[in-house]
Amino acid sequence: MALINKLYTKMKENSWLANLTYSFLAIVMALIIGAILIHISGHNVWQAYYYLFYGAFGNSYNLAQTLLKTTPLIFTGLAVAIGFQSGLFNIGGEGQLYWGAFVTAIVAIAFSALPGVILIPLSLVSGALAGGLWSIIPGYLKAKTGAHEVITTIMFNYIGILATSFLLKNYFKADGPVDQTRMIPESAGLKELIPYTRLTWAIILGVFIIFIVDYLLKNTSLGFDLQAVGYNPAAAEYAGISAEWILVITMGLSGAIAGLAGSTMVLGVLHRFITNFSPGYGFTGIAVAVLGRNKPWGVLAAALLFGALEAGGMSMQLFAKIPQDLMTIVQGLVILFVAAPAFIQIITRFSVGGKGAGLNE
């Protein structure tokens, strides 16, 4: 008891630690409910969770699989998180990711004569620009007409996926039955981090962007303005910040980062643009941002967790014959629990300090 009391006082002083504890408890609770579901469906819980863990971290190949699944989630999660910082809910990550991937592939193919040192950055920047421009439209509509970004960005997902598919089929399709572009040149491919895996240094780029965004939010005036608008747009306007302008910029940044998720998928994993390639990275990014409490480094931790759940879920399905959709249930539960710190508090009867998710204000 003395230990718990000590821990309790320590947490009251440190809301960062409190948030970490909340998130940890939310994950544990979701996994417990998952265990109950596994048990009810007639499977062995220990065996299931053994394969979940083994599939995620068991050996260097599995670890590489986890990191591979983590990479796009770092970008899409960060995209949602930066939007949240100024009170914007960007659900359009999926459409922005498709534009990013599409333009990246086209640019890499069109300028294939260039050496890799120029071609790779050029392709990445084009992908980011494409995602950013696509997201600026709902941002602008929100700022000018008040059209709720939640609905417009969702509509823009459908429109973006259809538009890239249209352009692909009519102008850029490679010969063959599959709707895909030609392969990008080898010089545009990202180098492997671990030999014989598909893990490339895209993940390093992800961590670097996390660092940049963290710096932007903490140390620049744009970062301050952005958070001021998120906290109270009216007050920000009084202080001389153009809330409308900030909304458009934030949305653009958010979309650019989501676009990079598509870029790195094309340059590192797929080596071409293929229709319907994303299993919903844009949507999982929302979950990642929520779990990471919209803090850049929190996003990294959450992306790792979700990457592990995806990779481990696959091995659980393969070896223990438990549908990996169970891990989707766990993800949904984690979001619900993280969104309601008060719920975790009551369930655990463990009142800690800190403001919780910071989303309720």
Partner 1 sequence: MNEIITSIFSLNTTAAAIRMTTPLALAAMGGTFSERSGIVNIGLEGMILSGAFAGVLGSFYTGNPWIGVLLAAVAGGLMAALFAIFTIKYKANHVVTGVGLNILALGATTWLMQVLWGSRGSSPTVKGLGEISLPLLKDIPVIDRLLGSQSPLVYLMFILVVAGWILLFKTPLGLRIRMTGEHPEAADTLGIDTKKIQYFSVILSGALSGLGGAYLSLGQLNWFSMNMSAGRGYMALAANTFGQWNPLGGLGASFLFSFTDAVQMRLQGLNLGIANEIIQMLPYLLTVIVLAGAVVRSRPPQALGEHYESGK
Answer left, alpha or beta for residue 122, where phi above 0 means left and psi between -120 and 50 means alpha. Answer: alpha
Measured between alpha carbons, how far is 9 from 174 in angstroms, rounded to an integer? 63
Instruction: Classify residue 13 as exposed, middle or buried by CB count within 10 Å of its CB (0-12, 13-18, 19+).
Output: exposed
Based on CB atoms, which residue is closest to partner 1, 20 or 359? 359
List 181, 200, 264, 331, residue binding partner 1 (CB under 8 A): 331
Our finding on whether 165 is near partner 1 (CB under 8 A) is: yes
In whole angstroms, how close is the CB of 272 to partner 1 at the nearest point?
19
Our finding on whether 274 is near partner 1 (CB under 8 A) is: no
List 18, 249, 302, 340, residue binding partner 1 (CB under 8 A): 340
Q: What DSSP string describes 247-283?
A: HHHHHHHHHHHHHHHHHHIIIIIISS-BTT--SSHHH
| β-pair partners for 248 | none
Based on CB atoms, which residue is closest to partner 1, 99 or 156? 156
CB 241 within 8 Å of CB 231: no
Our finding on whether 351 is near partner 1 (CB under 8 A) is: no
Footprint on residues 181-200 left by partner 1 (CB under 8 A): none
Phi, then psi, of 281 in degrees rounded to 5: -60, -35
Our finding on whether 339 is near partner 1 (CB under 8 A) is: yes
In whole angstroms, how close is the CB of 220 to partner 1 at the nearest point?
27
Footprint on residues 129-148 left by partner 1 (CB under 8 A): 138, 141, 144-148
Binding residues with partner 1: total (CB under 8 A): 50
Number of residues in the chain: 361
Measured between alpha carbons, how far is 246 from 115 in angstroms, rounded to an integer? 37
In whole angstroms, how close is the CB of 42 to partner 1 at the nearest point?
9
CB 93 within 8 Å of CB 256: no
Based on CB atoms, which residue is closest to partner 1, 121 or 323? 323
Answer left, alpha or beta for residue 68, where phi above 0 means left and psi between -120 and 50 means alpha. Answer: alpha
CB 123 within 8 Å of CB 108: yes
Return the amino acid letter for 12: K
Footprint on residues 29-68 left by partner 1 (CB under 8 A): 37, 41
In whole angstroms, how close is the CB of 307 to partner 1 at the nearest point?
16
Instruction: Classify residue 169 as exposed, middle or buried by CB count within 10 Å of its CB (0-12, 13-18, 19+).
Output: exposed
Our finding on whether 89 is near partner 1 (CB under 8 A) is: yes
Based on CB atoms, which residue is closest to partner 1, 123 or 152? 152
Our finding on whether 166 is near partner 1 (CB under 8 A) is: yes
List 287, 299, 302, 309, residue binding partner 1 (CB under 8 A): 287
* Residues 6 or more apart in contact with residue 7 via CB below 8 angstroms: none
Our finding on whether 329 is near partner 1 (CB under 8 A) is: yes
Give the footprint of partner 1 on this chain (CB under 8 A).
Answer: 37, 41, 89, 91, 138, 141, 144-148, 150-152, 154-156, 158-159, 162-163, 165-166, 169-170, 283, 286-287, 290, 323, 325-336, 339-340, 342-343, 346, 357, 359-360
